[in-house]
A and B are shown apart, each in its own frame.
Chain A
Amino acid sequence: MKAENYMNLEFLSKSSNESFARVAVAGFAAQLDPTLDEIGDIKTAVSEAVTNAIVHAYPDRLGKISIKTKIYEGKVLEIVVRDWGRGIENIEQARQPLFTTGGEERSGMGFTIMESFMDKLTVRSTPERGTTVTMRKKISVRLSDRL
């Protein structure tokens, strides 16, 4: 499938970049004319994936995070968040609601939220090599698209 448009970002795993990352992706997605609700879903899902990379992938150092965003025919938005950090040993377990290795400061709901706010979530990971989270969402077709 050929992308109609794309936008790539790369930044350091500092928590001060969380806000910027989700706003940038939402800004790119704006050309699909999403509803306010859909913009909220996109921002939230990006925030979860980026926070995981900051908190879990690089627990005691700063590292590289990349976001690749594509638009496919039919108003389909794809967001790929990648890190080169610690990786996930058991992906199935990590995706369970409430599972966390993050202690008191985390609730273990990140993947569950990404899953419920996006249409599709794929997680690939290799311990000590890094993690790639791919999310897709079809933005609703609205009357204004027909004009």
Chain B
Amino acid sequence: MEVLTKSSDRNLTIRLEGELDHHGAKKSMRELERAVESALPLSATLDFSGVTFMDSSGIAVVLRVLRRMRELGGTLKLTKVPPQAKKVFDAAGISQMLTIE
């Protein structure tokens, strides 16, 4: 799992690459949190286009970022979510809590 970040003007884009399972989440959670804490963004985007697999471990990761963004008074958006990951978000009922494009 790779975490690639880009930020300007308190807009943060994080591109996730690889398999977002428990193994991948363990590795990337800290990097994600570090990216959010250093950018303190008002708007954050998680780009899922490089996610080749996701299970419930990914839900916990997204919810963690969502919680932090709400504390910061900012918004979170997910983009380019592949069908397999989208199905997991839908089954968990969190598609309504987020903007998923």
The interface of chain A, by Cβ under 8 A from chain B, is 15-16, 18-19, 22, 37, 40-41, 43-44, 47-48, 51, 54-55, 97, 104-107, 109-110, 112-113, 116-117
Residues of A within 8 A of B63 (CB): 107
Residues of A within 8 A of B56 (CB): 48, 51, 106-107, 109-110, 113
Alpha-carbon distance A28/B38, docked complex (angstroms)? 45
Pick the interface stretch among B6-14, B39-47, B80-88: B80-88
B34 at the interface (CB under 8 A from A): no
Alpha-carbon distance A106/B23, docked complex (angstroms)? 13
Alpha-carbon distance A115/B13, docked complex (angstroms)? 33
Residues of B within 8 A of A54 (CB): 22
B26 and A19 within 8 A (CB)? no
Q: State whether A19 and B25 are in contact (beta carbons under 8 Å apart), knowing that A37-B83, A105-B60 are contacts in the complex.
A: no
Given contacts A97-B93, A105-B57, A106-B60, 16 further A-B pairs with CB under 8 A are A15-B26, A43-B53, A44-B84, A48-B56, A51-B21, A51-B55, A51-B57, A104-B64, A106-B56, A107-B59, A107-B60, A109-B56, A109-B59, A112-B91, A116-B91, A117-B87
Residues of B within 8 A of A107 (CB): 56, 59-60, 63, 92
Closest Cβ–Cβ distance, residue A115 to chain B (whole Å) = 9
B91 and A109 within 8 A (CB)? yes
The interface of chain B, by Cβ under 8 A from chain A, is 19, 21-23, 25-26, 29, 53, 55-57, 59-60, 63-64, 83-84, 87-88, 91-93
Closest Cβ–Cβ distance, residue B53 to chain A (whole Å) = 7
Q: Which of A55, A104, A112, A113 contacts B22 (CB 8 A)?
A: A55
A18 and B22 within 8 A (CB)? yes
